[in-house]
A and B are shown apart, each in its own frame.
Chain A
Amino acid sequence: MGQSAAIGNQPRISQDRTDGSATLQAGGAWVATNSPPLFESLKALSFHKDEPILVDLNRIDRLDTAGAWLLYRTVRDLRAAGHDVEYRGGTEEQMSLIEQATAHDALCLIEPPEPNVAIRMLEDIGASVMRVGGQATASLAFVGLLMETLWRYTSKPQRFRLTATVKQMELIGLNAMPIVGLISFLIGIVIAHQGAYQLRLFGAEIFTVNLVVTAVLREFGILLSAIIIAGRSGSAFTAEIGSMKMNEEIDAMDTLAISPMDTLVVPRFIALVVMMPLLTFYADVVGLLGGGLISWLSLGIEPMQFLERTHDVILGWDLGVGLIKAPIFGALIALIGCYEGLATEGSAESVGHHTTKSVVESIFMIIVLDAFFSIFFTTIGV
């Protein structure tokens, strides 16, 4: 009685039984691409207890390491089950491949072992607590190091990298102008439009100007610029520094006695602290333009009238309140971006992770601080 499994028309494995002993007949192409069906049909084979088995390789046309492995593991398992197994009819190359498989039979772990769920949860909680603690100290240390580096420039100004800083100013500030301008302009339009619609109910359209001026100058100009810059430059800082870290470039700098603080962090920090107020001022102006345009088109407030009204309103602290926040937010974005970049380790995944973290943390901190400032300025009455 014979049981045969032809797979496709390529690799074959069949089983013959003559008095007391069984023959395993392998044929065709025993190669990696055919391994799934072969694996299944080898599993389906069954033998009488303790009968001797002959594995006939005579009809194998092609054999590669995957095929040899399949043959070897079958024979190994059969031998372990108490059968007497012999190979027959293999060429020298084929037998040498099977020898290779025999010699390299050492199943290893594919991934690090995972501890059980409860332990892992406890471990995760512990690790998070440790991490938060560690991060708090590490980021404080980072700020300290930056301050120290800046302080040293007072005695050794030649260490300051002017070229790199100017280059960063261009990347951060100048190149961001189109997008910051467009968004501020649109937001100016939206505020004026919505404001006019509501205020018209009271017949107080003219106060649209107050609304636009206050909203844009105090909040929207700075908030939008900061969020755009966090997404645009903060992420770039982290990704750039992170890739350099991954490539051992930061380590190379250290060994060359070049401080990454001098070459990477300070230029970005200074550039952002300087550019943020400028960008904010620009965003303010463009936002007012947008508001003015809508006031003119839908409320009929002439540009001159809008300007005069703006002039009256602006005498207060509106512009100052917005601009005071700018360098602080800039410093925050630069600190978080560079810190996360330097915290990257090893893999591309880590760069992605820290970049996300950098942007999310920056935006979160910006909004929290902004709320804080808002309350503060109202309390002191400006």
Chain B
Amino acid sequence: MVAEDLERLHRQSPEEARQSTLKDVAIAIRGLEVGFGGSPIIQDLDLDIYRGEVIGIVGGSGTGKSVLMRTVIGLNKAQAGSVWAFGEDFLTLSYFEQRRIEKRWGVLFQQGALFSALTVAQNVQVPMREHIRGMPQELMDEIASMKLSMVGLPPDAAPKLPSELSGGMKKRAGIARAIALDPEILFLDEPTAGLDPIGAAAFDDLIAHLRKTLGLTVVMITHDLDSLVTVCDRIAVLADKRVKLVGTIDDMLESDHPWIREYFHGPRSRAAGVGKR
């Protein structure tokens, strides 16, 4: 049932894919191939990301989840295929047209990627300063404070430099910067890795809340089974260089692909209460 779904995407014409991104699809990835010289890391990958959904991307270490995300947002070069977003093929756009679309999404990198010379609060202000002409400093200070509080950072972290923060705090600061301008799509690369379980749960709540209030579409690479169960509407499994399966957690549990079975029926998944259903 679900595998057929991917088959359908694969057969769509470019025009159909483009049209779909003007309606209920936020991003349509078709026939994507990425490699770094040797054999490709990702090949013939098809995936639809629906508007307003939280989609979790899982896969073993080194299967190319980060590479997929970096390619979709235009940081890695694709050898073939297209990424449709807002009715345009993002990968074929010129540099400046890409910047225009990039304002509509926010990204949290696996390592946080905060600007090391700026304080945490200044990091959050960077997108406002760069993209909104004439924003009063007072308002920027207030909004930066609000975003930092929204991601659960204590006020005394705001004037610190990133090098003075713990790993989990850097993650939160990175998210605050990613949501500074209320993007439509949020890309998160392992957001809850390095957070304590309570912090991770609070973070899941935050994502669910932002999604609900802002109508945000969230693409979340994660290894955290709790996040997958609690906030993700759908899960896409990356295996054998492509999206092997996409669907709900129940679809995952029914699958007989060995890696998916192992992942969703292993001891950790039972601890997370997944296998019980």
Which of B132, B147, B158, B209 is within 8 Å of A36, CB to CB? B132
Q: Mark A343-358, 1 if CB is under 8 A from B, else 0.
A: 0011111000000000
Which residues of chain B from 116 to 136 have any CB-CB distance to chain A below 8 Å in the complex?
A: 116-117, 119, 121-122, 125, 128, 131-136
Q: Mark B209-244, 1 if CB is under 8 A from A, else 0.
A: 100111100000000000000000000000000000
Which residue in chain B gives the minimum CB-CB distance to A36?
B134
Given contacts A64-B214, A348-B116, whether A110 and B141 have CB atoms under 8 Å apart is: yes
A190 within 8 A of B: no
A105 within 8 A of B: yes
B15 within 8 A of A: no
- Decide if B146 touches A101 in the complex (CB within 8 Å): yes
- Decide if B144 touches A348 in the complex (CB within 8 Å): no
B255 within 8 A of A: no
B27 within 8 A of A: no
Chain A min CB distance to B120 (Å): 9
- Residues from chain A with a CB closer than 8 A to the CB of B158 are 108-110
Given contacts A66-B143, A104-B149, whether A109 and B121 have CB atoms under 8 Å apart is: yes
A69 within 8 A of B: yes
- Residues from chain B with a CB closer than 8 A to the CB of A111 are 119, 121-122, 159
A100 within 8 A of B: yes
Which residue in chain B gives the minimum CB-CB distance to A103?
B149
Which residues of chain B from 197 to 211 have any CB-CB distance to chain A below 8 Å in the complex?
A: 209
A32 within 8 A of B: yes
A33 within 8 A of B: yes
Instruction: Give Cα A97 to B150, complex, Å.
Output: 11
B148 within 8 A of A: yes
A1 within 8 A of B: no
B196 within 8 A of A: no
- Decide if B116 touches A105 in the complex (CB within 8 Å): no
Which of A93, A105, A246 is within 8 Å of B146, CB to CB? A105
A107 within 8 A of B: yes
Which of B116, B142, B160, B214 is within 8 Å of A69, CB to CB? B142
- Residues from chain B with a CB closer than 8 A to the CB of A100 are 146, 150, 209, 213
- Decide if A109 touches B155 in the complex (CB within 8 Å): yes
- Decide if A93 touches B159 in the complex (CB within 8 Å): no
A128 within 8 A of B: no
Instruction: Give Cα A200 to B135, complex, Å.
Output: 70
Which of B135, B146, B164 is within 8 Å of A35, CB to CB? B135
- Decide if A32 touches B182 in the complex (CB within 8 Å): yes
- Residues from chain A with a CB closer than 8 A to the CB of B149 are 103-106, 108
Chain B min CB distance to A255 (Å): 17
Q: Mark B136-167, 1 if CB is under 8 A from A, else 0.
A: 10010111111111100001101111111000
Given contacts A31-B182, A64-B214, A69-B143, whether A106 and B132 have CB atoms under 8 Å apart is: no
B107 within 8 A of A: no
Which of A33, A101, A103, A112 is within 8 Å of B132, CB to CB? A33
- Decide if B119 touches A348 in the complex (CB within 8 Å): no
Given contacts A32-B132, A36-B136, A348-B117, whether A107 and B141 have CB atoms under 8 Å apart is: yes
Which residues of chain A from 215 to 265 have any CB-CB distance to chain B below 8 Å in the complex?
A: 246
- Decide if B142 touches A73 in the complex (CB within 8 Å): yes
- Decide if B182 touches A110 in the complex (CB within 8 Å): no
Chain B min CB distance to A142 (Å): 23
- Decide if B145 touches A107 in the complex (CB within 8 Å): yes
Which residues of chain A from 305 to 360 have any CB-CB distance to chain B below 8 Å in the complex?
A: 345-349
Q: Mark A13-31, 1 if CB is under 8 A from B, else 0.
A: 0000000000000000001
Instruction: Give Cα A32 to B139, complex, Å.
Output: 10
Given contacts A32-B132, A36-B136, A64-B214, whether A108 and B119 have CB atoms under 8 Å apart is: no
- Residues from chain A with a CB closer than 8 A to the CB of B128 are 32
Instruction: Give Cα A31 to B149, complex, Å.
Output: 20
Instruction: Give Cα A347 to B118, complex, Å.
Output: 9
A58 within 8 A of B: no
- Decide if B181 touches A346 in the complex (CB within 8 Å): no
A210 within 8 A of B: no
Instruction: Give Cα A213 to B79, complex, Å.
Output: 60
Instruction: Give Cα A31 to B181, complex, Å.
Output: 9
Chain B min CB distance to A95 (Å): 10
Given contacts A36-B133, A73-B142, whether A108 and B213 have CB atoms under 8 Å apart is: no
Given contacts A65-B143, A100-B150, A106-B149, whether A347 and B135 have CB atoms under 8 Å apart is: no
- Residues from chain B with a CB closer than 8 A to the CB of A70 are 139
- Decide if B117 touches A104 in the complex (CB within 8 Å): no
Instruction: Give Cα A303 to B162, complex, Å.
Output: 64
Instruction: Give Cα A108 to B154, complex, Å.
Output: 9
Which residue in chain B gives the minimum CB-CB distance to A349?
B117
A4 within 8 A of B: no
Which residue in chain B gives the minimum CB-CB distance to A65?
B182
- Decide if B116 touches A346 in the complex (CB within 8 Å): yes
Chain B min CB distance to A372 (Å): 38
- Decide if B139 touches A39 in the complex (CB within 8 Å): yes
Given contacts A35-B135, A36-B132, A349-B117, whether A108 and B148 have CB atoms under 8 Å apart is: yes
- Residues from chain A with a CB closer than 8 A to the CB of B214 are 64-65, 97
A96 within 8 A of B: yes
Which residues of chain A from 70 to 96 have any CB-CB distance to chain B below 8 Å in the complex?
A: 70, 73, 93, 96
Binding site for A on B (CB under 8 A): 116-117, 119, 121-122, 125, 128, 131-136, 139, 141-150, 155-156, 158-164, 179, 181-182, 209, 212-215
Binding site for B on A (CB under 8 A): 31-33, 35-36, 39, 64-66, 69-70, 73, 93, 96-97, 100-101, 103-113, 246, 345-349
17 chain-A/chain-B pairs, Cβ below 8 angstroms = A35-B135, A36-B136, A64-B214, A65-B143, A65-B146, A66-B139, A69-B142, A101-B146, A103-B149, A104-B150, A107-B141, A108-B155, A110-B141, A110-B144, A111-B159, A347-B117, A348-B117
Known: A106-B155, A346-B116. 5 other contacts (CB 8 A): A32-B182, A66-B139, A110-B121, A110-B141, A111-B121
Q: Give 10 closest A-B pairs by Cβ, nearest first.
A: A346-B163, A108-B155, A347-B116, A104-B149, A108-B158, A64-B182, A109-B159, A110-B121, A349-B117, A36-B134
